[in-house]
Amino acid sequence: MTMSDDTRDNEAGTPLADGPASAGIPAQARQMAMFAHLSALIGGIITTGWAGSIGCFVGPLVIWLLKKDEMPFVDDQGKEALNFNITVAIAFLALLLLSILTLGIGMVIAIPAWIVIGVAWIVLTIIASMKANEGVAYRYPFTLRLVK
């Protein structure tokens, strides 16, 4: 009998969850939750430029809409990824508006803020995807909970 990386069998042959972190969450649900987080990175890379902010929440939205009814963990993590990426998009667009309304003077604030927010977005998205793959429900800091 072969054992997969995410489950191991007890003497009766029934699969056990891989440690306390996964808490019985199926491997497929953990992978889909991880993809919900990572799809934001892929969307951001594909739609770089001004559309990057919008492209970042399309992936989590699609995964959440497709899997929310059949996988509760994906429902939770998909909403979390979606809320975080909407929050980041709002911050980027607010900084863009600041720059436009001040006729470019706001770029002094916007450019460093974009860099900080962009790096934090990448790091937090990677952390969230790793936690989701472990079966841990990750909560992003400073996130507006718009989708409930």
Question: How many Å apart are CA 89 and CA 83, to the nearest integer?
Answer: 10
Q: What is the DSSP letter of 51?
A: G
The sign of the dihedral angle between the CA atoms of 90, 95, 96, 97 is positive
Residue 102 domain-assigned?
A: yes
Question: How many Å apart are CA 87 and CA 111, to the nearest integer?
Answer: 18
Q: What percent of the chain is predicted at pLDDT more than 70?
A: 81
Residue 35 domain-assigned?
A: yes
How would you label 37-70 residue by residue, b for 16+ Cβ within 10 Å and e otherwise? bbbbbebbeeeeeeebbbbbbbbbbebbeebeee
Q: Which of 110, 109, 143 is nearest to 125 (CA)?
A: 143
Find the domain containing 43 and state its range: 26-131
Q: Are 33 and 77 in contact (CB under 8 A)?
A: yes
Question: How many Å apart are CA 60 and CA 84, to the nearest integer?
Answer: 10
pLDDT of residue 64: 94
Does the pLDDT at position 12 exceed 90? Answer: no
Residue 72 domain-assigned?
A: yes
pLDDT of residue 43: 85
Domain count within the chain: 1
Residue 11 domain-assigned?
A: no
> Is the entire prediction scored with pTM above 0.85?
no
pLDDT of residue 2: 42
Residue 112 domain-assigned?
A: yes
Residue 99 domain-assigned?
A: yes
Residue 16 domain-assigned?
A: no
16 three-class SS: strand
16-25 mean pLDDT: 58
H or E element in which residue 135 lies: none
Residue 1 domain-assigned?
A: no
DSSP codes of every residue in 57-106: THHHHHHHHHHTTT-HHHHHHHHHHHHHHHHHHHHHHHHHHHHHHTTTTT
